[in-house]
Amino acid sequence: MIILVLSFFLSTQSLQYIGKTWILFILASLKFLCGIGWTIKGIENIPSSPFVMASNHQSAWESFFLQTLFLPTSSIMKKEILIIPFFGWAISRLKPISINRKLKLRSLKKVIEVGSERIRDGYSILVFPEGTRKKPEDGIGKFGNSCGVIAANESVPIIPICHNSGKFWINKSFKKNSGDICVVIGKPIFGNDPKKLTEDARSWIDKTYSDIY
């Protein structure tokens, strides 16, 4: 409700700062109630200018947490989320990029087109190139190419991020396991070949995941 009301008066970045405060409160509560904390390595690799954030995807935890690393950030999410009363309406004010998963080609074009516009407007883009959540034991899945295309088109780096959140925040389950989620942020990956950029990001995440799993 706060974001909905203030969206008529504040900038998107200010609204995202409010969202960040709410997210950190939720995660602090999670740590207190369920014993799930987190450690971060490589935070110094986050640039001060826009970039494409590419992360593996295992649970809802990283969907929240990664949005706090850089403001403003535009996240890619299912359009169904935005129609949830109040919660979804508030998220829509934060300028996400909504997609229809059933229309894959159209969604890919929209992510590239709108994502590029957001980069030029000073936003970073949060992408989960696997497209859907994976079980921790299944490792790293195949990556879609949108992160590499946006980074190459806009001459910005991909910042690869690897974590093991699924071991603690079990996907599609009320169950939570106590412990510290390990988040590793890689160095910027530059290039002008979209496929190579995507593959380099995936290779780094895959190698890093084998170390933290």
Q: What is the pLDDT of residues 92-132, one digit of tens each?
A: 999 999 998 778 788 889 999 999 999 999 999 999 999 89
What residue ranges in the chain does DSSP mark as E strands?
Answer: 36-41, 52-55, 73-78, 97-99, 124-127, 158-163, 179-185
Per-residue pLDDT of the chain (213 residues; tens, 9 = 90+): 999 999 999 999 999 999 999 999 999 999 999 999 999 999 999 999 999 999 999 999 999 999 999 999 999 988 899 999 999 999 999 999 999 877 878 888 999 999 999 999 999 999 999 989 999 999 999 999 999 999 999 999 999 999 999 999 998 888 899 999 999 999 999 999 999 999 999 999 999 999 999
Contact 169, 152 (CB under 8 A): no
At 105 the pLDDT is: 84
Domains and CATH numbers, the chain: 37-76+100-212 (3.40.1130.10)
How far is Cα 136 from Cα 124, in angstroms, rounded to an integer?
26
The confidence score (pLDDT) of residue 173 equals 84
Which is nearest to 201 in space by CA: 131, 136, 142? 142
Residue found under tokens 């359009």: 79
Classify residue 152 as exposed, middle or buried by CB count within 10 Å of its CB (0-12, 13-18, 19+).
buried
Across the chain, mean pLDDT equals 94
- Kind of pairing between the strands at 52-55 and 36-41: unpaired
Give the Cα separation of 82 and 143 in Å (integer).
Answer: 25
Query: What pTM was computed for the model?
Result: 0.92
CA distance 119 to 114: 9
Beta bridge partners of 189: 158
Q: How far apart are CA 157 and CA 82, in angstroms?
A: 29
Ramachandran class of 91: left when φ > 0, alpha when ψ lies in -120 to 50, beta otherwise:
alpha
